[in-house]
């Protein structure tokens, strides 16, 4: 029996979008807001395949959407719609359809940016949040590294080839990982195509909105984070990250009385949320927000 149900909703522009719905299977979830897990730029709902069942077993409903162009969600007709504002609109439509008026957000990288945008658009609905290795200011060196591999469209003959390729790209961020860890990551981020080759599980056109972007001129996201900081907030920063500076991390901790800062050791962008420090931080957040 599956730990989750595959479900779908429709975006305002007519895309069929997919999410995993993990029912609370442990202690009573009465009165608890569901947990909304939002993945990073090139990722999908499978990123939470360990985290979500653990939370569900502890009495939390967990909802893990595939953003448009990823996983089992449809690809967009217009690549310009591959942007965080549109993703938030898509997820808002899902929340409205499910009649969810309060939720706890766990957002990794792009999913954290989406959470910060929700600080602008729906602060009353966010009961608490965890931002995974992201903040209101993003370092250009980290963005440049992401742009180096975004939308390359490589294919591989075996899962071992795929795992080795991911290790080649991300090995510096996870120095302690073994080949089994890279195989897990390959199967989360890739899929078997119709021609039998292994491919990345996202639309390569998600790279198009980034072309010609001046990363030094970023949108001002501090007000969105400050709105969130009135609630229970946890900010995770990977010890080896290149995306969020120590100074930004420190400033985030000063924005509200219930902002917890947690450094995840020996990893870079982004923690899987399965690290002991990350798992414990999630549990503390839910205790504060639920």
pLDDT digits (tens, 9 = 90+) for 182-197: 999 999 999 999 999 9
Counting the structural domains of the chain, the total is 1
Task: Give just the sign of the alpha carbon dihedral 160, 161, 164, 169.
Answer: negative
The CA distance from 41 to 38, in Å, is 10
**Is residue 171 in some structural domain?**
no
Q: Report the CATH number that the domain containing residue 49 is assigned in CATH.
A: 3.40.50.1820
Q: Is residue 165 part of a domain?
A: no
In degrees and rounded to multiples of 5, residue 261 shows phi and psi of -105, 130
Helix (H) or strand (E) holding 95: helix 84-97
Domain that holds residue 9: 5-147+216-289
Task: Name the more confident of 236 and 209.
Answer: 236
Asked if the structure places residue 260 within a domain, the reply is yes
More confident residue, 218 or 33: 33
pLDDT digits (tens, 9 = 90+) for 90-134: 999 999 999 999 999 999 999 999 999 999 999 999 999 999 999
pLDDT of residue 178: 98
Q: Is residue 188 part of a domain?
A: no
- CA triplet 205, 65, 142: central angle to 5 degrees? 55
Structure pTM? 0.96
Of the candidates 109, 100, 135, the residue with the CA atom closest to the CA atom of residue 38? 109
């Amino acid at each position: 029996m599956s730990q989750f149900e595959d479900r779908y909703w429709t975006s305002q522009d007519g895309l069929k979008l997919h999410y995993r719905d993990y029912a609370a299977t442990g202690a009573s979830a009465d009165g608890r807001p569901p947990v909304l897990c939002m993945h990073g730029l090139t990722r999908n709902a499978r990123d939470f395949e360990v985290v979500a069942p653990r939370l569900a077993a502890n009495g939390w409903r967990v909802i893990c959407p595939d953003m448009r162009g990823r996983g089992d969600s449809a690809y967009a007709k217009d690549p310009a719609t591959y942007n965080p504002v549109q993703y938030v609109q898509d997820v808002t439509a899902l929340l409205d359809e499910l009649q969810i008026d309060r939720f706890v957000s766990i957002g990794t990288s792009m999913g954290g940016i989406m959470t910060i945008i929700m600080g602008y658009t729906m602060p009353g609905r966010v009961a608490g949040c965890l931002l995974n290795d992201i903040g209101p200011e993003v370092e250009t060196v980290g963005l440049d590294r992401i742009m180096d591999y975004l939308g390359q469209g490589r294919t591989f003959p075996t899962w071992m080839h795929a795992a080795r390729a991911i290790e080649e790209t991300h090995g510096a961020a996870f120095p302690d990982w073994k080949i089994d860890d890279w195989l897990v990551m390959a199967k989360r981020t890739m899929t078997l195509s119709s021609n039998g080759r292994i491919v990345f599980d996202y639309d390569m056109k998600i790279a198009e909105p980034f072309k010609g972007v001046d990363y030094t001129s970023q949108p001002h996201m501090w007000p969105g984070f400050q709105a969130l900081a009135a609630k229970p907030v946890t900010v995770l920063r990977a010890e080896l990250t290149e995306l969020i500076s120590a100074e930004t991390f420190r400033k985030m901790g000063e924005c509200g009385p219930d902002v917890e800062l947690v450094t995840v050791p020996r990893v870079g962008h982004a923690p899987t949320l399965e690290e002991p420090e990350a798992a414990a931080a999630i549990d503390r957040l839910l205790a504060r927000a639920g």
